[in-house]
Structure 1
Amino acid sequence: MDAWSSAGVVRRHFGSAVSGSFDQNGRIHQRIRDTLLGFFSGLSDVAVTHAWGGPLGDVEERLTRRPSRISRILERLTAPHSPWHCLLDTARIGAAGHSLGGAAVAELTRLDTRPAAIAVLDGSLFGQVLSTGPELPVLLCGLTPPDPEDPDVLAGWDQLWPLLRGPRHHTTVRGAGHMSATDFDVLAGPLGLRDPDDPDNRFTFGALPPGRGITLVREVLAAFFNEHLMGSPAHIPPEAFPELSLDTIP
């Protein structure tokens, strides 16, 4: 999963939960080409020699920047002159992130003491937090199904788990895919980007109906943050949400 561009300086897919097979998705490439020709019809005779569909950039470098950006946002929101200052309870700040965003909020706990609880939604974990571990409530919510050909999809989770010194929760959403917690899970179908015959769909969307993953993750996040930020433990009825597998260790 550690590839290099032709320039030899930019790593792609490094620890990312994005499958390398996305780079060979001809249907997506054709849609991009069709859109390009819609704007620039004069390019109809121009050959496309290189097609690529994954995230570009050094993940470790991006992870270095993201936590500091989140911290600056918190500073602005909680500053005395902020219009939000009187509306926020700074003792009850929660942070949740999906994919690389999950790695960012985990690393944020090492740099900023304001978050009182965090939730990581799928994706790999990086950074120094894997050596220190946070001392606050943490939810790890897995969406991506196990892939024996790519054991690094959820890299860092097993390493972080024993280092968690606060209440820790591990939830698996059975039948979900990496994007099941996002709007793309619902929008992909109308956009023609959800093909049940495409093997990549299992990784991206799983087998759940569109929107079901969002409902499940919303339920888990609400229960987690209500318990650890509001002091109101919530029971998730298994009969209403059978796709959830909950493993909680106080």
Structure 2
Amino acid sequence: MVVGIDHVHESYGTTLPGDRLAGCAACEEQQADAWAFGAKAVKGRQADVSFVLDRLLGRHPVWKGARLIDRSRIGMAGHSLGGSSASWTLLKDSRVRAGVNMDGTFFVPIADKNLARPFMLMGAGEVHEPGGKDFTWGRDWARMTDWKRWITVEGGDHASFTDYPLLTKQSARELEITRAYVVAFMDRHLRGREQRLLDGPSATFPEARFWK
């Protein structure tokens, strides 16, 4: 099962029941101070994720197929701010067992050696290499104490880990790489299936570089 969450008031338009449209109440704040907004939004998104899990896994679930969800095997993968929110969600909600941050800055630091669940970092080229522009990856990497991987994609950029390449008719290679590694991560940590792809460099995906 895949659940996609739309964080209301963070985008320019979110359709709600009853033909309502919610605008972007946070956009002005984001432009004024991106770092302060990021820290605030990470915590808000974690609350959203936990709320959705409550609604799906509670006594009276809102989705008729909720009984198919295995509550012992829940993972979270996010891009950009969503990736930053994944680590915070793992720290705050024990139902989420594994997480992936795709090209997201850690706006809220992980407490010292406090993230003791499987976590994967997957980012674009030079920005997220050790010593790159985003210092938060190196800082928080040391605070992850369970299974972990740090992978960058040569030639990729921030949008490479979304479906933008398909929408803009660009090369879908980045999407293929993202799918392969995220699926392998979830299969390994939620299904218990060994995945050689996660053990090191691959001839199939030479663009993927392993750093740690």
Question: Deviation string for 1:63-108 (max 9, x for gaps)?
Answer: 2211100111111111232223320111100000000001111111
Q: Secondary structure at the match of 2:156?
A: coil
Identity among equivalent positions (%) equals 27
Deviation at 1:145, TM superposition (A): 3.0
Find the aligned partners of 1:214 and 1:112 in 2 and give their Cα distance.
Answer: 29
Q: Secondary structure at the match of 1:163?
A: coil
Aligned with residue 106 of structure 2, among 113, 119, 125:
125
Structure 2 unaligned regions, length at least 5: 1-27
TM-score by length of 1: 0.64
Q: Secondary structure at the match of 2:158?
A: coil
- Say yes or no: does 1:163 pair with 2:143: yes
Aligned with residue 214 of structure 1, among 171, 175, 182:
175
**Higher Cα radius of gyration:** 1
Q: Secondary structure at the match of 2:121?
A: strand
> Is this contact kept in 2: 1:143–1:176, CA < 8 A?
yes
Report the counterpart of residue 140 of structure 1 in structure 2: 121
Find the aligned partners of 2:40 and 2:127 in 1 and give their Cα distance.
Answer: 27
> Is this contact kept in 2: 1:109–1:115, CA < 8 A?
yes
- Say yes or no: does 1:65 pair with 2:85: no
Find the aligned partners of 1:174 and 1:238 in 2 and give their Cα distance.
Answer: 13
Report the counterpart of residue 23 of structure 1 in structure 2: none
Aligned with residue 95 of structure 1, among 65, 73, 76:
76
Deviation at 1:174, TM superposition (A): 1.2
Deviation at 1:119, TM superposition (A): 0.4
- Quickly say closer, same or farther: Cα 1:187–1:9, change in 2 above 3 A: closer
Find the aligned partners of 1:9 and 1:228 in 2 and give their Cα distance.
Answer: 37
Find the aligned partners of 1:94 and 1:10 in 2 and give their Cα distance.
Answer: 28
Report the counterpart of residue 167 of structure 2 in structure 1: 187
Structure 1 unaligned regions, length at least 5: 1-7, 16-56, 190-208
| Matched letter for residue 80 of structure 1 | R
Give the number of aligned pairs: 179
Deviation at 1:12, TM superposition (A): 4.1
Find the aligned partners of 1:127 and 1:231 in 2 and give their Cα distance.
Answer: 30
Deviation at 1:159, TM superposition (A): 0.9
- Quickly say closer, same or farther: Cα 1:9–1:218, change in 2 above 3 A: closer
